[in-house]
Structure 1
């Protein structure tokens, strides 16, 4: 029985990460697979596997989970906050459940395959919608928004993961698989540009600059760093100057068609962040947090008071938009202590893995996405944070070309 479970266990993990983007279509299957992994775990785990748990990043992340549970329980808001705490639990749980699996490359392959599957699915939908409407448009067009398998932000995240993994798998010397990885990088990069996922583009530019600090240092690498830095700054200035991006929530904006309303995120985030700032100013220093559900209530009150446009106000109140920033969410929802633990987890992980490009790059991606999204408010976000944790605890010794060169 144990031999059979040991053979099936890694493929259950692989299947889980294959189907994550299709959660809306096969909602029960990911939960079934997680249940199978939990039940099989005691039978397949070995004593030496638990040595993998002696990882400071994992210990700090579990410490964050423990604090969130204790803080919510003592404050009497555990039932209200459990939906968010559960997502943090999923991320930590996936890392722990992965320790019997010997090869992290199984998940890497699953990430590549599922990214391609999501692209094919989205392109197929785009063709159908374009044929039905008779219009062709890319970027922020209604066709693109409606055809995507999952939210553009997470689809961009998945493609970024796929590009990063493929880049890491390319061998310096000729290898037949290099062609497949290069094609995958090209397909995902083209898809990111076509769907206009700006956060994914920024991530790729940052990773390009970051990579130049690994391996031998050459003069042309400095030019790449400076060029990518200029491109990132230029992109930020472009986003800031786009029509509709406003910092004052009281200012009136031209309403977009309801069909694509949710894709216009710059105005949304500016309003949400302004309200979060107002709450922080009103509450003062927050040590243990207001509660994640109470934070949304406070934001809704701010939307009701600050937005003068009744249509926009009603939409913000009805949608109960969250902070769209994981750092703000931890500070408001669970207080300074939770934010401090989360930041300590990130900085400690960076320090431990600073000589290895892949885990460092994944941490950079986590930071950038956490600045514009509450990654623990969506189950798909929890799964991908779990993937980052898995890489952090399974990263082996860095190779010559993947190590930052000492001066």
Structure 2
């Protein structure tokens, strides 16, 4: 029985990451796979496997999860906050469930078969989205890319998470390309081009910024050459330029003209920077009104306070109704931890980031994943969506396997 489970277990794990974007269409399957993994885990895991978890970053993340549980329980709001705490548990749980899958000697640029699942998952999501776009274009008789409602409606999952998946796929393929000729290099190069073009076509700003930052980050690894410094300078200019472009979109955010009733919800959901600017101003107002918070208000209460702020601060009636109906959260994981679980939670989360950086800073792949985590946490509450928890779990897996490899001196600097 154990041999059979050990043979099935890795494929169940990889299938989970392959089908994550299709959660809305096959909602039961990811949960079934998680149940299979949880049940099989104690039967196939070996004592020595747990050595892979002996890393300070994972310990700090576990401390964050434990604190969220204890703080919520002592505050009498565990049931209200359980939906968010459960997603933090999923992220760290996936890292734990992965340890029987990872190789005996993991390396930072070789993360096992899960990288193939990420690449295939991204390509499948792109194909599905493009197919939907063609159908919508045919039915409407119009063609528009970027922030158009056609693109928003055709995407398999939210643009932010689809951009995140494509960024993962590009990074994994980039790290898999060999310096010497290898037949797989062509496939990885094609995958990079496909995902890059798709990110541009759907106008995923955060994915574009993330890739520019990773391009800049890569210049600090390997041999230092003049062309790398020129490329880094270009990346910095591009990031600064994109920042000011986005900043200009936020002018007069409270007083912009209302859109037609039939398209207000769609348009508001695509004007992502404007949405976040309003939410962040309300979050800042809550912080100013309440002052320093050690333990926070709870995740549910924080959302209630944000809704009250929307009611009081947004003069545009149609826009106010959209924000209240959608009950938009803080769209910033750092703000969310501070407002909901207090300074201690924020400190633990920042501690996890700092400790991880100090542990893996000499190696590109785990450092790049940490950079992606920080950038997406700046614009999204990643633990408010199950898909976000899955992908944070993927980042934790790479960090865990990388730290384990570093301790075994199996990684060569790249």
TM-score (norm 1): 0.96
Distance 1:216 1:309 in 2: 54
Corresponding residue of 2:259? 255
Which segment is superposed worse, 67-76 or 312-321? 312-321
Deviation readout 1:342-369 (Å, 9 max, x if unpaired): 0000010011000111110000000000
TM-fit CA distance, 1:59: 0.7
Corresponding residue of 2:108? none
Distance 1:331 1:354 in 2: 26
**Would you say 1:389 and 2:396 are equivalent positions?**
yes
Change in CA separation of 1:299 and 1:224 when aligned onto 2, cut-off 3 Å: same
TM-fit CA distance, 1:253: 3.7
1:232 to 215, 218, 239: 239
Corresponding residue of 1:70? 70
**Would you say 1:195 and 2:202 are equivalent positions?**
yes
Q: How does 1:317-332 map to 2 (within 5 A)?
A: 317-332=324-339
Distance 1:58 1:399 in 2: 19
TM-fit CA distance, 1:311: 1.2
Contact (CA 8 Å) 1:159, 1:192: kept in 2 or not?
A: yes
TM-fit CA distance, 1:248: 5.8
**Would you say 1:124 and 2:131 are equivalent positions?**
yes
Distance 1:226 1:184 in 2: 26
Q: How does 1:165-204 map to 2 (within 5 A)?
A: 165-204=172-211
Corresponding residue of 2:91? 91
**Would you say 1:342 and 2:345 are equivalent positions?**
no
**Would you say 1:265 and 2:269 are equivalent positions?**
no
SS at 2:113's partner residue?
A: helix
Contact (CA 8 Å) 1:247, 1:270: kept in 2 or not?
A: no
Corresponding residue of 1:246? 251
Contact (CA 8 Å) 2:258, 2:319: kept in 1 or not?
A: no
TM-fit CA distance, 1:247: 6.4
SS at 1:131's partner residue?
A: helix
Contact (CA 8 Å) 2:258, 2:316: kept in 1 or not?
A: no
**Would you say 1:30 and 2:30 are equivalent positions?**
yes
Distance 2:132 2:173 in 1: 26
Contact (CA 8 Å) 2:373, 2:392: kept in 1 or not?
A: yes
Which segment is superposed worse, 221-230 or 332-341? 221-230
TM-fit CA distance, 1:221: 1.1
TM-score (norm 2): 0.94
1:110 to 117, 124, 143: 117
Distance 1:31 1:227 in 2: 44
Corresponding residue of 2:144? 137
Change in CA separation of 1:62 and 1:400 when aligned onto 2, cut-off 3 Å: closer
Which segment is superposed worse, 165-174 or 212-221? 212-221
Q: How many residue pairs were aligned?
A: 399
TM-fit CA distance, 1:265: 1.1
1:158 to 165, 168, 171: 165
Contact (CA 8 Å) 2:253, 2:274: kept in 1 or not?
A: no
**Would you say 1:205 and 2:224 are equivalent positions?**
no
TM-fit CA distance, 1:114: 0.4
Change in CA separation of 1:227 and 1:121 when aligned onto 2, cut-off 3 Å: same
Which segments of structure 1 move beyond 6 Å, counting only runs of 4 or more? none
Distance 2:272 2:247 in 1: 12
Deviation readout 1:150-181 (Å, 9 max, x if unpaired): 00000000000000000000000000000000
- Structure 2 residue runs of 5 or longer lacking an equivalent are 104-110
- Structure 1 residue runs of 5 or longer lacking an equivalent are 403-407
